Structures are given as structure tokens and as C-alpha cells.
Amino acid sequence: MYNPYDFYFKQAKKEWYKARSAFKLDEIQEKFHLFDKTTKHVIDIGCAPWSWLQYAISQAQKHNIKDYKIIWFDIKPVTLNLPGLVTYQQDVTEQEKVKELLREQWLQKVDLIQSDMAPNTTGIKDLDAIRSMGLVEKTLWMYKELLKPSWKFVIKVFMGPGFEEFVAHLKTYFGWRAI
């Protein structure tokens, strides 16, 4: 049974993470090694409450990466003052605008894209899952166009109708590394 005040909630507070989702990213890191000494440029999409962002910064610092840059795009206004972070209030479906903002940061390609975004939920599991996949589908252009050849990305998507087909599509396009 889901307990919003479980071990991970308490651990997040103890480690100053904004939310417990940082520990899910840590599990993914342990298995797939998203962050390493070459992960210098990261795009973070829709990361409020920004625990994934905090985790990415901690990994850059852990790997002693100098001059790392994390670009955060969100449709909501954000003002954060964290090392290596640049924030933009920007809808990522506006491809040319996103590319223009990246050029302002002297970036065309990045090492990693992470997305913890989610739709405004309705409480109807299947509908929320479909809306979650729709959001991810709208961002696929970023993974296809903005990642370096050694691409890495991690996305959150709700499970529901069409989930298996969606994962199969990702595996078809991105190959065996899409898990």
C-alpha cells in the first residue's frame, strides 16, 4: 500500500531532496549509469518539484565535472539559483524556440535528457496513463535530435493502456538500449 510518508519520504527530507523521486533516479543510475564523468550537458524537462534536478547536480559534483550545465525547461515559471543550472519557462513542443535557447547556451547536443514530467492528473488511472504517454510522445523529437551519439535519456511515463506498445516503439527506434 502506498504511504506518502514512507522511508523514502523521510530519507528525502534527511538528504535535502525536494521529493522522494530522487531515489528512483538513484536506482536507475545504479543499473544503467546515466551519469558518469562524461555527462557534462543535461536537459531536464518539467522537473518540478526538482528532485531529479538536485540529483543530476549531485552526480555532476560527485564525478567532479567542471563546467557542467543543466538546462531546465518547464511550462511553469521557475527561479532557482543552483550551480550549473539555467532555467527556462518554455514549452518543449516548440522545437525551434528550444533549439534557439540551447544555442544561447552554446549547445546543440547534450549528453543526457531526463524527464520527470507528468500531466495534471485526474485520478482516472487509464486516462492519466494515456495523457502521460502523450506528453512523452510530444518530446520524442528532443531525444532524436538533441542527444549526442552516445545518447542517454530517462523518462517517467505512467503505465496503462498502450504502455507496452509505446515501449516497443521506443525500442524499435532507439534499439536494445531502450529499456
| Active site residue ranges | 156
Closest to 107 in 3D by CA, of 51, 146, 136, 64: 146
Closest to 93 in 3D by CA, of 144, 140, 139, 145: 139
| Spatial distance between the Cα atoms of 64 and 148, rounded to a whole number of angstroms | 21
Closest to 117 in 3D by CA, of 164, 154, 88, 70: 154
